[in-house]
Structure 1
Amino acid sequence: MRTLAYGSWPSPIDAALAAAHDGHPEFAGFVGDEAWWTEPRPAEGGRRTLVRRRADGTQESVLPAPWNVRSRVIEYGGQPWAGEMRPEGPFVVFVNFADQRLYAYEPGAEPRPLTPVSHVGGGLRWVDPRLHPDRGEVWCVMEEFTGEGPTDVRRVAAAVPLDGSAARDRDAVRELADARHRFVTGPRLSPDGAQAAWLAWDHPRMPWDGTELIFADVAEDGTLHTPRVVAGGPEESIAQAEWAADGSLLYAGDRTGWWNLYRLGRETPVCTREEEFGGPLWKIGYRWFAPLSSGLVAVVHGRGATRLGILDPETGEVVDAAGPWTEFTPTLAVHGSRVLGVGASPRSAYEVVELDFRTGRARVVGAAHDDPVDPAYYPEPQIRTFTGPAGREIHAHVYPPHHPDQVAPGDELPPYVVWAHGGPTGRAPLVLDLEIAYFTSRGIGVAEVNYGGSAGHGREYRNRLREQWGVVDVEDCAAVAAALADEGTADRRRLAIRGGSAGGWTSAASLTATDVYACGTILYPILDLTSWGSGETHDFESQYLESLIGPLAEVPGRYVERSPAEHADRITAPFLLLQGLDDPICPPAQCERFLSRMAGRHVPHAYIAFEGEGHGFRRADTMVRALESELSLYAQVFGLNPPGIPTLELLK
């Protein structure tokens, strides 16, 4: 063992390696007997390709660059493809990110467009497709801009003909129901084709606040008649609904305070547990459960973490898949006795996992984790619960500095960076993240805080952030940082905070409201609540602040008081600000106003804006520069000496 100061340890996990492994497989499904999924390609401009696993186990990337399988509906997108196996081979429809058109793909031919282009505002967009070959259609959600503003938009369930007749004719797209609701998910057709069900909600609610389950009859012409609300409401969130093979409708609702599974027509859950069988619907088409033809149900469930299991609705018993995975994402598909999901653990990145529920055997079938470095360099996380203001519990994952060959001098305490996740209605999963390892393997600790308002711990914990954003999240992060310092885990003088999106907000708000941190990294943040809450963001979150802060018309002063942009004079700690110039969610104008108010204050800082990046960085070169710049900030502020890192120029 060598003795070197914290932050100076040499590490094989460089920024390029971390960037190459950023992102994970998503939206898994079956095409006949074959498993398919989307997968990121950071080195190819951050696009997402469609991967096919043939019956013999061979895999191929179906669509070459520049095809990018990703939807922009509600900007966060969702399920972007659907497919079936025909006698001549697979037939797949998918959304292409560049033009947001729906395309049909068949091997050996160039994808052909199924939907037209609209030049009004954000155009025409599609998500959550379901193939109905007997009708010659694909049913999905259509998002149509009616003007140039970000909220000039309507969404409706629509049917697109598979013959391509709508590629140049908007009128050939058949709207299945009226656009009475602002937000909808794709309709699910009952096994007998007589009914359809979908979710809907309206401003100012977010889907984790309250949604409605809509039930309708399917007329002979394929339209959805007499839609009626059969479950949910303003204070009950329904995250997903699916038909079982017996014709009953299952859904995940949180009327008990936890997302549990229900069967339509029954008031009690199929499985009553104080854990989640659903989650926040950030992307349309997320699937936490999938009914099997046997009557059993594949489920992603847990409390503070998620497992893959098989639920018997008759007994309420859940049997979890055996294996190393401790976290599964909300993407499930079933075919016969096979269940397809995406799982990870603190020692492995996300992999495509197949479970055969008859044998109980689970195996990796795609995106198999392959250690890019010796696993001895991976962090060894701790699951912690801290005590915050008023005695409230705060959940966190603590990643101490870790290196197989390095230790620090015995009298030195390590620097720590508090990570605030985005959302804010989201959570930080406990999985292998090479960005975290990039820091811990150099001798910098990381603490991911699932502050009050985070998902995974029930509705009461989630509701802590109602009208308290910028207060509870800031207090909880500070409480974790202070506790680590008090117990002798972290150096009180060398604490930092970082986060992106809503986490960027928490980072900036923390620098204006506390003196806990010596510096901070702020990525694609919200900085000005008044502007963001009155037209400076996309439609999906345009009224999110009504619950997070309070009604703008009633408490405008609260928006001003909590905005970092209004209190730039309070910031004395150095910071790094990173922003994508094509970000429609947290636009660069917020950063620019914030920086103009910092002018002349002589606080060391750096601002890096990236061409071609949106909300969340996806290009390898962007991620490399962002990580190295962040490390250089900590090196300069904390007095570290990481080898081989370019020096970030800090302006004053």
Structure 2
Amino acid sequence: MQTLAYGSWPSPIDAELAATHDGAPGFVGFVGAETWWTAPRPTEAGRRALVRRLPDGEERTVLPAPWNVRSRVVEYGGRPWAGAECPEGPLVVFVDFADQRLYAYEPDTPGAEPRPLTPVSGIGGGLRWVDPVLRLDRGEVWCVLEEFTGEAPTDVRRVIAAVPLDGTAAEDRNAVRELSDGRHRFVTGPRLSPDGAHAAWIGWDHPRMPWDGTELTLAEVRDDGTFGAARTVAGGPEESVAQVEWAHDGRLLFSSDRTGWWNLYRVDPRRDTTGAEPLCPRQEEFAGPLWQVGWNWFAPLESGLIAVVHGKGATALGILDPETGEVVDAAGPWTEWASTVAAHGSRVTGVAASPRSAYEVVELDTCTGRARVVGAAHDDPVDPAYYPEPHIRTFYGPAGREIHAHVYPPHHPGHIAPDDELPPYVVWAHGGPTGRAPLVLDLAIAYFTSRGIGVAEVNYSGSTGYGRAYRNRLREQWGIADVDDCAAVALALADEGTADRARLAVRGGSAGGWTTAASLTCTDVYACGTISYPVLDLAAFASGETHDLESQYLESLVGPLDTEPGRYAERSPARHAELITAPFLLLQGLDDVICPPAQSERFLARMEGRGVPHAYIAFEGEGHGFRRADTMVRALEAELSLYAQVFRIDLAGRVPTLELTK
């Protein structure tokens, strides 16, 4: 063991290693008996690849660069592909990020190339597609269509539509058949009953977000493929239905938080739909916030059992018997399952991780109970001795309310710090804010902890995974409750002697960037902060300076702008830049339409000449959240350099020095 000051420990986990291992597989599904999924490619300009697992176990990328399988519907996107096994081989339909067109592709057909199915529109954001469902019997793909009708981000409509698979709509918008009646501003893709007689989907409207209140809608499918009159089966202004599927016996399954927790329910549309049957009433979550269209937390099996991702805080993959309410969880090292699960026969596939392993594709055989990794297998890029050891903690904030957090102390197999020194700590505020920080291996966290800088991820008020009451603690309290909770955790760590009170920092992106900026504005807890692609000006955000999905989000987070303008001005960091005295780093994607660069630029203009050391780095080609490896390398190294300068850490020239201006 060598003794060196906290923050100065040499580590094999450099920024390049962390960046190239960023991201997780997503949107798993079956094409015939094969498992397919999307995969991050940080070193390929941040694209998402489509990957299949062949019968011999080989993982094969379906489309070469620059194909980027990613939708922009509601800007956060969603499920971008669907596939089926045909007599000639697999057929896949996917969305390409560059033009947002739907494409069809037969990867096993010699000489085949992706062929467009939908046209390009020059109006606003154009035509976009998500959550496809193949209807081979009709020669169509049914999915959500997002169509811009003007140049403003809110000039948009969304419906369920049918696209011909023969390509006749590739240049003809009129060949696209609209199925739903447009009653809802936001919709998910249709889920068809086993007999094809009914379609079910979820819809909601401003100012609600999907975790506030949605409606489960049901309609008959006529012989000509059109929908009959739609009716609401479940949901409402204060009930969130997050997912709907059909059981193989023709009954409808859905998740609802009507009890305060997302639980599963069942109803038979052929009989009475007024009384839904709870399948496993528990004070834990069987679903989550629908940030991306097509996320799913359960999948029915042919046997009548249901694969479920569930838990409180952390999540597990279990098999639910809907007749008894019993859940048997899959055995294995995984402690976190992502919001994607698929079933085929007796096989269930999902995406799972743990504090010692990154996200990987896992298959559960429900006949044998055996779970195994079948794709994107975690492979330790460094000795696991350098990984952090997380502590699951509960802290207490104002009025004694519970605050959930993951604390990662500094950790290195070959170095310790002097006995008389306490470590610096960085509080990480997650995005959303309706989201949470999962307890998984993150090499960006290890990048800091292996150098002697502690990390505390805070699941502050408003986070998901702890029930509706915990989520609702942030209603009209954004910029207050989240800031107070993060500060309470930071100060508690200092008071108990875990962290150095003089060397506390805060960082976050998106809504976490807001919490970071607000924390630097209205508290003196932190010595510095890193603000990434943030919300900084509430009034501008609520007046058209963001995308449609979140354009009225602040109605619940802050209050109505027309009746509470004072809150918008009082809480916005951009309006109170004079209160910031701590150094900061601001990171921004220039292509960000959710939190646009204009907010960061106005904020910086107010900071000019005030004598506060800061740096601004803007990245071309990056949107909301960074996906390119070179971007993430520069961002991580700049963040470490900020902490080194503020906390007086000697990095011995291991990273470029961030130039701070005043």
TM-score above 0.5, yes or no: yes
Aligned to 2:338: 329
**Secondary structure of 2:287's partner?**
coil
| Aligned positions of 1:185-584 closer than 5 A | 185-264=188-267, 265=273, 266-584=275-593
Q: In structure 1, list runs of 5 or more residues that go unmatched.
A: none
Cα deviation, residue 223, structure 1: 1.0
- Equivalent position of 1:110 in the other structure: 113
Q: Distance in 1 between matches of 2:436 and 2:18?
A: 21
1:36 and 2:36 are equivalent in the alignment: yes
Q: Distance in 2 between matches of 1:155 and 1:3?
A: 60
Give 1:90's aligned amino acid.
P
1:647 maps to what in 2? 657
Return the offset for 1:641: 1.4
The amino acid across from 1:35 in the alignment is T
Deviation by residue 1:272-304 (Cα, 9 ceiling, x = unmatched): 100000000000001100000100000000000
Partners of 1:27 and 1:187 lie apart in 2 by: 16
Verify the 8 A CA contact 1:418 1:497 in the aligned structure 2.
Answer: yes
Q: What's 1:5 paired with? A: 5
Counterpart-to-counterpart distance in 1, 2:68 and 2:650: 40
Q: Aligned AA for 1:371?
A: D
Counterpart mapping for 1:586-601 below 5 A: 586-601=595-610
Give the AA of the match of 1:58.
E
- For 2:650 and 2:132, the matched residues in 1 are separated by 51
Q: Helix, strand or coil: the match of 1:125? A: strand
Report the CA distance between 1:600 and its aligned residue: 1.2
Name the aligned partner's letter for residue 26 of structure 2: E
Amino acid at match of 2:33: D
Distance (whole Å) between structure 2 residues aligned to residue 192 and residue 307 of structure 1: 32
Structure 2: give runs of 5+ residues left out of the alignment: 268-272
Q: Secondary structure at the match of 2:35?
A: strand
Distance 2:182 2:87 in 1: 37
- For residues 245 and 493 of structure 1, what CA distance do their matches in structure 2 show? 60
Instruction: Tell me the distance in 2 between the aligned counterparts of 1:550 and 1:650.
Output: 36
For residue 27 of structure 1, what is the aligned residue in structure 2? 27
Kindly indicate whether the alpha-carbon contact (under 8 Å) linking 1:442 and 1:642 is maintained by their aligned counterparts in 2.
Answer: no
CA distance in 2, matches of 1:62, 1:177: 32
For the pair 1:139 / 2:133, whether they are aligned, the reply is no
Q: 1 CA distance for matches of 2:184 and 2:426?
A: 42
The code of the aligned residue for 1:386 comes to: F
1:396 maps to a residue whose letter is: A
**C-alpha contact 1:635 1:642 (8 A) present in aligned 2:** yes
The residue that corresponds to 2:95 in the other structure is 95
Contact 1:300 1:328 in 2 (8 A): yes
Deviation (angstroms), 1:194: 0.7
- Please report how far the alpha carbon of residue 267 of structure 1 lies from its aligned counterpart in structure 2 after TM superposition: 3.9
Q: Deviations over 1:72-128 (max 9, x none)?
A: 000000000000111221100000000000000112311000000001000000000
Q: Distance in 2 between matches of 1:483 and 1:492?
A: 10
Equivalent-residue separation in structure 2 for 1:609 and 1:330 (angstroms): 31
Q: CA deviation at 1:589?
A: 0.1
SS at match of 2:28: strand
Aligned residue number for residue 79 of structure 1: 79
Q: Distance in 2 between matches of 1:453 and 1:224?
A: 37
Give the distance between the partners of 1:59 and 1:278, measured in 2 at CA. 29
Distance across 2 between alignment mates of 1:383 and 1:5: 26
> Shift of residue 59 of structure 1?
1.3
Q: Distance in 2 between matches of 1:102 and 1:639?
A: 53
**Residue in 2 aligned with 1:69?**
69
Match of 2:270 in 1: none
Question: 2:228 aligns to what SS in structure 1?
Answer: strand
**CA-CA distance at 1:180 after TM superposition:** 1.5
More displaced 10-residue stretch of structure 1: 100-109 or 361-370:
100-109
Q: Is the 8 A contact 1:379 1:402 kept in 2?
A: yes
Give the secondary structure class of the aligned counterpart of 1:351.
strand
Measured in 2, the distance between the counterparts of 1:405 and 1:615 equals 38
What is the percent sequence identity of the aligned residues? Answer: 80
Q: Deviations over 1:349-398 (max 9, x none)?
A: 00000001110000000000000000000000000000100000000000
Give the number of aligned pairs.
652
Q: Which moved more, 1:152-161 or 1:262-271?
A: 262-271
Runs of 4+ aligned structure 1 residues displaced above 4 Å come to none
Q: Distance in 1 between matches of 2:24 and 2:3?
A: 36
Work out the CA distance in 2 between the residues paired with 1:316 and 1:552: 45
* Matched AA of 2:656: P
**Cα deviation code 1:28-67 (max 9, x no counterpart):** 0000010000001000000000001011111111100000
Q: Deviations over 1:247-267 (max 9, x none)?
A: 000000000000000012444
Amino acid at match of 1:424: P
Measured against aligned partners, the alpha-carbon deviations of 1:436-483 in whole angstroms (never above 9, x if no partner) come to 000000000000000000000000000000000000000000000000
Q: Distance in 2 between matches of 1:645 and 1:57?
A: 40
Q: Which residue of 1 aligns with 2:625?
A: 616
Residue aligning to 1:149: 152
> Secondary structure in 2 aligned to 1:332?
strand
Deviations 1:137-161 (A, max 9, x none): 0000000000000000000000000
Q: C-alpha displacement at 1:268, in angstroms?
A: 4.4
* Equivalent position of 1:163 in the other structure: 166
Residue of structure 1 equivalent to 2:184:
181
Q: Match for 2:83: what amino acid?
A: G
Distance 2:301 2:415 in 1: 50
1:536-582 Cα distance to aligned partner (Å, 9 max, x none): 00000000000000011110111000000000000000000000000
Query: Offset of 1:642 from its aligned partner?
Result: 2.2
